Amino acid sequence: MIYLDNSATTPLCVGAREKIEEAMDRFGNPSSLHFAGNDGATLKNEARDVLYRALDARKDRFSLIFTSGGTEANNLAIFGAARAKRYKNPKILVSDSEHPSILEPCARLAEEGFKVVKISTRGGMLDEEEFLSEIDGNTVLVSVMTVNNETGAVYGESIKKLFESAHRINPKVICHTDAVQAFLKIPLSPRLTGADMITVSSHKVHGPKGCGALLVSREILKKKALLPVVCGGGQEEGYRSGTENTLGIAGFGGAVHENMKTFENDMKKVAELRTYLLCRLPKEVSVNLPAVPAPHILSITLPNIKSQTALNFFSGKKICVSSGSACSSNGGHRSYVLRAFGLDDFQADSTLRISLSKENTKEELDTFLEALREGINQLVRFKSV
C-alpha cells in the first residue's frame, strides 16, 4: 500500500504503540484515589506535560483539556465560549474555509441569534481588510484555522496580527484557532498564533484516534468565559467530564514525544517530498497553490476526470489519496473550501488532495506519478454542463 492521505489520519508510530501498551497494564481509573488510579493519573499527566512542551505553553498561563478528538475540542471552543455569558447582539467571525466542526456549531449559534460572519479566503489568503472591518464591540469570538485541511493554505502568518488587532479593538473577544493540520507540521504555539484557545488532535500526528485537546488561556477560565459542553463528574478541571480515555491520552503523548525529537528533520523531509512531487506532475494537472503552503499538503485538479473516478482508480492500485476532508467527503457535496479558494464546481469536482508524512518515500511518489499518468490516459472524461 502507498498511503498519501495523511491529513485524514496517520499510522500509529512506535512511541504511541509503546505508551498504549503500557497504559493497557495500568488500567486504573485516573479519577480513583487508590494506587491503581494514581497509575492512570500519572500516565495522563505525563502526556499533558509532553503536549505543554510541544505547544510551548506555560502551565500557569494555559490549561490543557483532553477531549475525544479535534471535533469535540472545536465544539467546546465554539459553544463553550459563545454560551458562557449573555450577550446583546453577539457576533462571531470565522473564515469561510473552516472545518465542519467549526461551521456547524456556528450554524447552530446563528439559529440562536448570533451573527456569524464568514471572512473570505480566496487563493488561500485570509481577507485581512474584511476581517478588521468586521471586528467590533459585539464580537465575542473569532475562529480561524492555522492550516487549511484541503488546500494546505497556511493562515498562521496572518492570524497573529489579526488576533492582536481583534484584542486591541475589543479586549473581551476570544480568539481560537483550529490547529489540527498545523500541529507538528509547522511551528505552533500561543505566542506564534496570538490565540487564546488552540485545538490539536492525536491521530493527525501518528497517535491513536479518539483523542484530542483544547489549550485554553487561564485568563478565560478565570473570567468564566468558557462553559463545558460535556457535564458530569468534573474531570479535566470540570470542562470535559467523563472517565478519561487513558489509552488514547497515553498514546497521544507517546506520539508527540517521539515526533518532537525529529520535528525539524521530518518536516524538511516532507517539504522535499512535496517539492519532488510538484516538479514531476504531468502538464495536464493543475496545482492549487496557496500563497503560503503547508509542507505536507498538495491540492491538484485533474483534466476532466471526476475525483471519485480517480479515487477508485488509485484505490484499485492500492494507492490512498483523497478528494478533501475525510469528515465531509462522504456527503457527496462539492467542496465549499475549494470554491472559496477560487475553483468553480467543475474544477472542484475534479480535485484530489495528496498529503504526506515522514514515512513516505520518493519511490512511492514515483509509483503514484506513474499511476497518475496512466489514469489521465485511461479514465473516462466528462464535460462541463
Catalytic residues: 327
**How close are the terminal C-alpha atoms of the chain, in Å?**
36
**Backbone conformation region of residue 255, classed left if phi is above 0, alpha if psi is from -120 to 50, else beta:** alpha
Task: Determine the Cα–Cα distance for residues 223 and 74; give it in Å rounded to an integer.
Answer: 20
Output the CA torsion sign for 229, 231, 236, 237.
Answer: positive
The span from the CA of 338 to the CA of 301, in Å, is 10
Residues 6+ apart with CB under 8 A from 318: 1, 2
Are 250 and 42 in contact, with CB atoms under 8 Å apart? no
- Taking every pair of Cα atoms in the chain, the longest distance, rounded to a whole number of angstroms, is 68
* DSSP H/E element including 91: strand 91-95
Yes or no: say if 65 and 240 are a contact pair by the CB < 8 Å rule.
yes
Q: Which residue has the cell 493519573?
A: 41
Q: Which residue has the cell 470535559?
A: 240
Spatial contact of 31 and 233, defined as CB atoms under 8 Å apart:
yes
Amino acid at 183: F
229 Cβ contact list (under 8 Å, min separation 6): 72, 75, 76, 79, 80, 240
Other beta carbons within 10 angstroms of residue 316's beta carbon come to 9
